[in-house]
Amino acid sequence: MAGQGINEDELKKEIAAFTTRYKNEDEGVKTEEFQQFRDELMPLHYTLYEKACNFCGNILAIKADPAKEAKLQESLDTCHLNTTPGGVTAFAILFPVAFLLTGFIFSFLLTTLFMEGKGLFFFVFVFVVFGIGMIIPFSTLPSVLANNWRLRASNQMVLSIFYVVSYMRHTSNLERAIKFTSDHISPPLSLDFKRLIWDVESGKYNSIKQSIDKYLETWKNYNMEFVEAMHLIEASLYEANEKKRIESLEKSLSLILEATYEKMLHFAQNLKSPITMLHMLGIILPILGLVILPLVVSFMGGVEWYHISVIYNGFFAVLVWYLGKVILSTRPTGYGQADITEVNPELVKYKYINLNLGGKEVKIDPKWISVVIIIIFAIGGLSPLLIDGFHQLKGETYDIIVGDRGLKESTDPEEISAASFNLLGYKINDLGKRIGPYGLGATLLSLLLPLGVALGISFYFSTTTKKLILIREKTKALENEFASALFQLGNRIGDGLPAEIAFAKVSEIMENTVSGKFFDLVSTNVATLGMGVEHAIFDKRYGAINKFPSALIESSMKVFVESAKKGPEVASQALINISTYIKEMHRVDERLQDLMAEITSSMKSQINFMAPLISGIVIGLTSMITTILNTLGKQIGQLSTETGTGPEGLLDIFGDSIPTFYFQLIVGLYVVQITYLLTGMLNTIQNGYDPLNEKHMLGIYVKKSGIMYCIVALVVIILFNMIAGTVVSMNIVS
């Protein structure tokens, strides 16, 4: 080498300098950065599950079933959980055991302290059934988490291909394109893309292509169009002809768009039957079943309100949740929307209630106000129990009845029993036990509990999303116009105008539009603050992007800034191409929304109208039947006492039914539960993974459904009890 005039030391210095310069220009994802990013991204229930599995694995050393171990490990790798199949198996055994022990203790304390030992076997049986039933689901829980992860990740796949293609049109560097994409797509796919780079830099793989190919193997059975699109992008690297390279990139994006539409078409066609089944099993069957429950309870002894609550608020709610998960697991790739607080963390402040007290800004978490709302309404709804319990401690019988001069308080048992209206309506059964409350007033007051829960949940979700959803709607309006704006900007730059002037020209043409305001803000920053275009857009304090927190707009502008470094022609062509891509994506998205329109409108009617209406009417029927049965039982008892004889065995038929007070609490809470679950399903079917919109919809639908149910139930209960009063006022004996 010395003979060729090359100094080895100088050569090493140049290589080292080039390597350092390259690393400075193209910052990678270091091990520490990736781990920190992962820890910040992972949902709380994922990290808790991970820690629980590791903890149980240390206590109980057990190996997973060899036939399932590989599948479990694949699922754990998919959702980035740092645990082992053995830890998962240990958790699936130890947690149900701990649940059973806790259930035994809870059942014993509950029945001993509050129920005089009654119902111990039932509660123990429920805990045993649920405990044993947990073992199989928990042993396969990583598969469920992996499916949820894939569902969330798949909603960002179209955008991920869009970002890779947009970047590689002007810079044919796959590693930098993956890095660029990972910075602009939403979690969890962003975590997957960052790991692709991390695996290369940590030495696990020799090249980014090798890392990508290994990653794509995990998607072959779930999203083949994404795999094919990425392979086309990789193939573009080997094209010597620039035209063919661009065609390969464009083909990858059109492939995933067309495949998305086709798969969503089949999903929409196959969705009608599952949704109908969900409607029947989750709404119609449970609620209409309440009509015959008062008769069943009267004819069958030993049935208590908590038995029905376990069936409705437990079994049916879990059934609807499970069916919903099964239906959503078949949803193909779509377009998800990120929570804009992930794009701009400074917007988190809008999730709080900000008060100015004495010149000092105070942030209040809405969840505490929601808790207060629920507690206040719960006290009102449970007040019949609280009032009776207070007077029982004083050793007196108490009720508010309708007397000769209207409502009055009474402590006379006979007067209370003879009254036509009771607030509490407690009575003594054949065993000498005090049961109730059967009073109409207690039933009406019980409506406050589900109403309070609905209003509390609605207040929390509405308050935390109200300002954010307005910002995002404004941003979405910009995104809808942005394709045309980019096209005009690209043409102006292609005509030879400097970017600074081109922004001002386009803002004048698009005056009074959202895009015009965005471009005008960029132009203003350039003219008044002396910024360059890049700082005018991305400055942390004054950048125009701060007022429009959109990953799509941010990434488009970054592609523009990067391509502008290669000249105005490259920048112009990049903007025009991005404009074309955005229009094509928007067109396919609109077609997908049309496919879902019939299904989503049907679900909205179930949530906002059918479920609360049917529930309210059924509660009124239940109240009427219960009133008639109780009154007929009382009249037959009086007849037997007065005459010394009575219809043989007839009195036994009219036993002590469950008070409508408890029926209403069970159904009212079930309406809130079913609305919550169906709203989450509706959002996922319509929009894919979109947490911000889901919370916004919950704030609207839970309140509407809860209020409608309470109004319908109030009117129907009063009306049907008037009918029941007329029926039972007739003398049953000729």
Is the distance from CB of 316 to CB of 670 less than 8 angstroms? yes
Cβ pair 686, 597 in contact under 8 A = no
Question: For 340-486, where are the E strands, in sequence order?
Answer: 353-357, 360-364, 399-403, 406-410, 427-428, 434-435
H or E element that contains 714: helix 691-728
The span from the CA of 126 to the CA of 604, in Å, is 34
Give the model's pLDDT for residue 4: 43
Tell me how far the alpha carbon of residue 65 is from its chain's centroid: 33
Residue 139 is which amino acid? S
Q: Where are the domains of the chain?
A: 31-151, 155-269, 383-445
Helix (H, G, I), strand (E, B) or coil at 185: coil
In the chain, which residues have pLDDT < 50? 1-6, 11, 15, 18-31, 646, 648-649, 651, 731-734
What is the Cα 11 distance to its own chain's centre?
Answer: 58
Question: Model pTM?
Answer: 0.78
Identify which of 237, 255, 243 has the alpha carbon closest to the alpha carbon of residue 162: 255
H helices of 549-610, in order, are 551-564, 568-605
CA angle centred on 688, ends 588 and 88, rounded to 5°: 140
What integer pLDDT is reported at residue 311 of this predicted model? 86
Q: Which helix (H) or strand (E) holds 406?
A: strand 406-410
Given this model, what pLDDT does residue 371 score?
Answer: 95
236 touches 168 (CB < 8 A): yes
Distance CA 423, CA 385 (A): 11
Residue 548's contacts (CB-CB under 8 Å, 6 or more residues apart) are 474, 475, 478, 514, 518
Pick the closest to residue 141 from 195, 206, 203, 68 (CA basis): 68
List % helix, strand, coil for the chain (3-state, nearest 5).
75, 5, 20
> Rounded to 10 degrees, what is the CA torsion of 561, 564, 569, 570?
-70
Beta strands, E only, 600-696: none
What pLDDT is attached to residue 734? 42
Using an 8 Å Cβ cutoff, are 252 and 165 in contact? Answer: yes
CA distance 373 to 396: 32
Q: What is the pLDDT of residue 732?
A: 46
Terminal-to-terminal C-alpha distance of the chain: 126
**Which of these, 151, 251, 162, lies nearest to 585 by C-alpha position?**
162
Q: How far apart are CA 734 and CA 136, in angstroms?
A: 62
Structure-token pair, residue 226:
């994404």
Closest CA relative to residue 733, chosen from 631, 629, 654, 639: 639
* pLDDT at residue 144, rounded to an integer: 82
DSSP state of 240: S
